[in-house]
Amino acid sequence: MARYDLVIIGGAIVGSSVAYYLREEGFPGSIALIDRDPQFTYAATTLSAASIRQQFSISENIRLSQFTLGLFRRLKEEFGADADIGFRENGYLILSTDEGLPVLRANHIAQEAEGADIVIEDSEALVRRFPWLSPEGIAAGAFGRSGEGWFDAHAYLQLFRKALRTKKIDFINAAVTGIERDGNRVVATLLENGERLEAGTVVNAAGPYAGKVSALADIMLPVEPRKRSVFVFEAREKFPDMPLIVDPSGIWWRPEGSVYLVGGAESEEGETAADPQDFEPDWSLFEETIWPILATRVPAFEAIKATRAWAGHYDYNTLDQNAVIGPHPDIKNFIFANGFSGHGLQQAPAVGRAIAELIVHGSYRTIDCSAFGYERIRENRPYRELNVI
């Protein structure tokens, strides 16, 4: 039987970042980083749209993403001269109808207060900036002039995984199938192969399956997998300056090299948890929902060809589509890093840092994540992020 001071369940971007920053903060204890999917084939991390933005409604979410932006800006200092994640800083353009304007403006106030470089422009100004855009039904848009864009999620994850190799971490390839408790403490994790790992502290970094992992310790966490399909399409015309555009319908698209990615067509109304085995993209969404919107918004997209698609699972917090960060208020050695609901890739470094500070120093130092604490889950008190894309 092995014993670890810290066991992290889930070794993709969030789990790896927690391990990385624990060592950066000087955590001297033993760390096990457990994952059942060593290639991360089904992780949200590798199936994501790999984009980063400042356009959130909640200040803490803006700060978490700004931390990651700071990391992107000094990537080589942090990870070495050959570190490169192909960050394309093309911005986000969030379009709004007349009806949506008050929310767009309120969000913009929060973003400006955090120093984010976002500008609101009316439809005429937007068409001057992006002549390929149709202003039909659009009142205005919020555009990120810097600090927003996309990158290579695999390269980003590999930077952390590679850096961990020299940091005395035990990588364990196994599924966690049980968590033992002794009253108000978790004491061990049980693996599929029958092994029992005693644990001083357990961090839940299981992404879309965080609710299931919490349930192993008899702890309720309203995080479940929600399937999201992403389609790749080709268009004759190229728009190198195109940002990631979010249509008022919720559909988003962006360039990816010489092709484009599009998604966001799922309706959340009446939606339930995804089947954990179901990674089949829903092609009907492309034909019925996505294509007509693309053709309206960018007339040059009338003649496009979808070439492939994939589906991933959002780590969806059904209470308020926002992260749950920090310890359980009673079971204090069980720590959440969950529920990012589609924006966890860009927040992972900041969350890793925050959790490391909490474990090593007993309090948050860089970014106060108390607002994301589990207390609100228990009290059924949503802390809602309005810009869930």
- The contact set with ligand FAD (CB under 6 A) reads 9-10, 12-15, 34-37, 40, 43-45, 47-51, 175-176, 205-209, 213, 228, 230, 312-315, 340, 342-346
CB nearer to ligand FAD: give 9 or 62: 9
| Contacting residues for 109 by C-beta, under 8 A, at least 6 apart | none
Query: Least Å distance between CB 389 and ligand FAD?
Result: 8
CB nearer to ligand FAD: give 92 or 140: 92
Query: Least Å distance between CB 110 and ligand FAD?
Result: 18
Query: Least Å distance between CB 32 and ligand FAD?
Result: 11
- The vertex-181 CA angle with 177 and 186, nearest 5°, equals 90
Query: Least Å distance between CB 207 and ligand FAD?
Result: 2
CB nearer to ligand FAD: give 140 or 199: 199
What is the b/e burial string over 9-32, where b = at least 16 CB atoms within 10 angstroms of the residue's CB?
Answer: bbbbbbbbbbbbbbbbbebeebbb
Q: Could you tell me whether strands 334-338 and 324-327 are parallel, antiparallel, or unpaired per DSSP bridges?
A: antiparallel
Query: Least Å distance between CB 150 and ligand FAD?
Result: 7
Query: Least Å distance between CB 221 and ligand FAD?
Result: 12
Query: Least Å distance between CB 348 and ligand FAD?
Result: 6
Give the separation between CA 322 and CA 256, rounded to whole angstroms: 27
CB nearer to ligand FAD: give 4 or 140: 4
| Contacting residues for 102 by C-beta, under 8 A, at least 6 apart | none
CB nearer to ligand FAD: give 140 or 153: 153
- The vertex-41 CA angle with 37 and 47, nearest 5°, equals 130
CB nearer to ligand FAD: give 140 or 388: 388
CB nearer to ligand FAD: give 333 or 387: 387
